[in-house]
């Protein structure tokens, strides 16, 4: 590990570590899962087992130390008669996590929203030790069986409406 590694943080805690791919382009890897954060063509965040183009994000540093991460691959391209005259109308899709810790879809985000702002910090020696300790504890817990009946509940079916609408 290099001393230049950074951990990505949001108000809920640590998300992952960043690796520079190019100048201003980063890949974000989960601390515990070992998977890369990626955004698909529908703007959904997912964990990719292998590194690919969807894992690349443009890092932008804002005032007060906050950073935003926009998909390098996907963005909203304006359409219509005046679209070619306004190249700045193109909108980037940002990594965003809501107050409950759930990801938001990229095309619904703006760089100024709180949910899109993250605090990167450089990892020191104590942080690496803590990560190793938590990873070893997680490994021990993964060998134990889960609670009974977890994940076996069938999905609810939609009710059929009476009286057909035309």
Residue 59 and residue 95 in contact, taking contact as beta carbons nearer than 8 Å? no
Taking all residues of the chain, what is their mean pLDDT, rounded to a whole number? 75
Residue 17 — pLDDT band, cuts 50, 70, 90?
confident
Residue 27 bridge partners (DSSP): 19, 56
Question: Which pTM does this prediction carry?
Answer: 0.64
Query: Over the stretch 113-145, which tens digit does the pLDDT of each residue have?
Result: 877 888 877 767 777 777 777 777 766 555 545
pLDDT at 57: 94
Query: Over the stretch 103-121, which tens digit does the pLDDT of each residue have?
Result: 888 888 888 787 788 887 7
Q: What is the CATH number of domain 6-126?
A: 2.80.10.50
Could you state, in order of their start, the residue ranges of all structural domains in the chain? 6-126
DSSP E strand boundaries for the chain: 6-10, 13-22, 25-30, 36-39, 45-48, 56-61, 67-76, 91-94, 119-122
pLDDT at 40: 93
Mean pLDDT of 69-88: 73
């Amino acid at each position: 590990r290099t001393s230049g590694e950074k951990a990505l943080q949001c108000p809920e805690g640590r998300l992952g570590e960043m690796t520079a791919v190019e100048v201003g382009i980063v890949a974000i890897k989960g601390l515990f899962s070992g998977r890369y954060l990626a955004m698909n063509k529908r703007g959904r965040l997912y964990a990719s087992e292998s590194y690919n183009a969807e894992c690349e994000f443009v890092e932008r540093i804002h005032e007060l130390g906050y950073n935003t991460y926009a998909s390098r691959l996907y963005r909203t391209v304006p359409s219509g008669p005046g679209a070619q005259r306004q190249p700045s109308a193109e909108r980037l899709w940002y990594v965003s996590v809501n107050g409950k810790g759930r990801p938001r879809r990229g095309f619904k985000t703006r760089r100024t929203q709180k949910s899109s702002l993250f605090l990167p910090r450089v990892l020191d020696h104590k942080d690496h030790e803590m990560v190793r300790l938590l990873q070893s504890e997680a490994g021990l817990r993964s060998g134990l069986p889960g609670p009974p009946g977890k994940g076996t509940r069938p999905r609810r079916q939609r009710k059929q409406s009476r009286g057909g609408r035309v």
